[in-house]
Structure formats: structure tokens, C-alpha cells
Structure 1
Amino acid sequence: MSLSYGAEELWHLTHGMRQLVLVESARDVQRIQEVEEELAIARRQIDSIDHQLYAYDLQLRRGRDVRVVPLPPGGVARTRQGGSGPRTRGGNTSRRGWGIGDDSE
């Protein structure tokens, strides 16, 4: 058994290895695309659940049915908190939905 290879044998060996690497790379690319598609589906499902929780939270906070509007892109729900945020001149906090004495919470 010889431990040395001729130029033609080496060419065939390296050509075969290159073909194997290309096939494996193509499989990897395909699998990455599949995982990205699965991730996109999961994100849409999470956004839907987040929207449902947001709507339910509004119903609980207000104690009545509310009109639900779509969430902004990214699905992040923003809610205001009574007592926080800028105040008008003179410290008037009696506006409904803002400040101390807010009965909407």
C-alpha cells in the first residue's frame, strides 16, 4: 500500500471534497432559510398574543368593552400611567386620564 498520491489522484480527491462541501453548504443555506421562516411565524404569533393581552388589559383597566386598535409595528404596547408625564402650567391635574384623582384606573 503506497502512502503517496499522484497528481491525478490528488485532483480527484480534492474535487470530491469540494463537491461534498458545496452540497453541505447548500443544505446549510436551506436549513437557515427554514429556521428564518419559522422565526418569522413565531414572531407573528407572539405579536398576535401580545395584541390580545393588550386588549384584555385595557378591558380590565376600564371595566368595560373598549375599541381595540392595532399595535404599532413591532407590537410594543405603550400605556400611560396616572401621575407621570408633563404637567400644565399652574399644576392643574384635574384633566381626565392624567394626574392625581384619576378615576379611570
Structure 2
Amino acid sequence: MSSSYDAEELWHLTHGMRLLVVAEFALDAQRLQVVEYELAISSRQINSIDHQLYAHDLQLRRGGDVRVVPLPPGGGARTRQRGYGPRTRGGGISHRRRVTGDDSE
């Protein structure tokens, strides 16, 4: 078996490789079009959801179409306050007077 190729054999080999590359490129371009199409659909769906949320938020702010639904017995797990006492920032220490350790105030 010879380790060298003549010009015609090399042409056929490189031509076949070029055809393979062009076919792969065409498939990649087609896949890219599918992804771009799906992205456009997703973007329209997100915009629609954003619009619906905005419209719903406006209705809630205006007080329209708001129904009062009774809670289950016990108030429901998500509505119960855990712990005791009021919820305040700063750990209950007044913002005007903080404990500094000296009694000079």
C-alpha cells in the first residue's frame, strides 16, 4: 500500500471533506434558526406575562375585582407570626439613643 496520493485522489479527498463541512454548516445554521425562533416565542410569552402581571397589579392598587377569601381554621401556616412581640428594626434599641457603655448622656 502506497503512503502517497496522486493529485486526483487528493482532490477527491479534499472535495469530500469540503462537502462534509458545508453540510455541517447548513445543519448548524438550521439549528440556529430553530433556537432563534424558540427564543422569539419565549420572549413574546414573557412580555405577555409581564403585561398580565402589570394589569393585575393595577387592579389590586385600585381595589377592583379583589375578593376576600376566608382562611382555613387556624389562619394557615403562612399567615402565622413566628416568635413574640412586634417586628422592629434595630433589635429594639431606639435609633436616637444607643447603648454605648458609658452613662454620660
1:90 aligned partner: none
Instruction: Give TM-score scaled by structure 2 length.
Output: 0.59
Q: Could you tell me how far 1:14 is from its partner in structure 2?
A: 0.3
The answer to whether 1:36 aligns with 2:36 is yes
**Aligned AA (1:49):** I
| RCO comparison, higher one (Cα < 8 Å, 6+) | 1
The answer to whether 1:25 aligns with 2:25 is yes
**Aligned AA (1:20):** L
List runs of 5+ in structure 1 lacking aligned partners: 66-105
Structure 1: how far apart are the matches of 2:30 and 2:41?
A: 17
Structure 1: how far apart are the matches of 2:3 and 2:58?
A: 77
Identity percentage of aligned residues: 75
1:46 aligned partner: 46
Q: Could you tell me how far 1:3 is from its partner in structure 2?
A: 1.5
What does 1:20-99 align with in structure 2 at a 5 Å threshold? 20-64=20-64
Output the aligned Cα RMSD: 1.0
Q: Which has the larger radius of gyration?
A: 2
What SS does the corresponding residue of 2:9 show, helix, strand or coil? helix
Structure 2: how far apart are the matches of 1:4 and 1:42?
A: 55
Q: Which runs of 4+ in 1 moved over 6 A?
A: none
Instruction: Give TM-score scaled by structure 1 length.
Output: 0.59
List runs of 5+ in structure 2 lacking aligned partners: 66-105
**Aligned AA (1:64):** G
Aligned length: 65
